[in-house]
Amino acid sequence: MEFDISNIIQGYAQGYFLMADDDDNLGWYSSRQRTMIPLDDRFRYPTSLRRVLNQERFTVAVNRDFQAVVAGCADRETTWISPELKKIYWKLYQAGWAYSFETWQGDELAGGILGIVIGGAFIGESMFFRIPEGSKVAMVKLQERLRSRQFVFFDAQMMNPHLERFGAYIIDDTDYQILLQEALQRQCFLM
């Protein structure tokens, strides 16, 4: 099956995102609210995680094993990442739009975040861990990288208690669209 990458990127550039329903039917969705991970001093994390970071148990990589991160993100009892969406992410990765930001413990993938980069926007699609603290360390290290590379925002899409612990906040669609237009004017690089 062929996918039109330019149309998919255009959808994301307008503020939409792809999801599969319970029957694996893929569709475009939007939201009146978006969850953002702060790229400034509002970002925070638990003291216990600071100890883990100081111990340097994990190393960070980008796209070392993209498909394993997609598989890890989809490996849940209920998932919106259908087989078709996995193929789309692979095509987006091959075209330079999709990325996996990974943590490793030796040769073992500890956790990762799957996202799409358009200009100065990092649109987080999903995250997972196999080793405790793996995805949390990935979140901290990704936030640091996005901030240092002058990304406009880190879109986490939907709020949950886990993201709230990192200082995540909600903005309405009007504000999101303004930030998105600013992000589309930048050229930022994750690698």
Domain count, the chain: 1
Query: What are the residue ranges in the chain where pLDDT is below 50?
Result: 1
**Looking at residue 170, what DSSP letter applies?**
E
Nearest to 95 by CA among 188, 178, 173, 3: 3
Residue 164 lies in a domain: yes
Residue 116 lies in a domain: yes
pTM for the structure as a whole: 0.95
Amino acid 2: pLDDT? 55
List b or e across 129-164, with b for residues whose CB sees 16 or more CB atoms inside 10 angstroms.
bbbebbbbbbbbbbbebbeebebbbbbbbeeeeebe
Residue 190 lies in a domain: no
Residue 139 lies in a domain: yes
Residue 191 lies in a domain: no
Domain holding 138, by residue range, is: 5-184
Residue 153 lies in a domain: yes
Amino acid 1: pLDDT? 43
pLDDT tens for each residue of 135-182:
999 999 999 999 999 999 999 999 999 899 999 999 999 999 999 999
Q: Look up the CATH number of the domain holding residue 94.
A: 3.40.630.70
Residue 157 lies in a domain: yes
What's CA 140's distance to the chain center, in Å? 12
Residue 189 lies in a domain: no
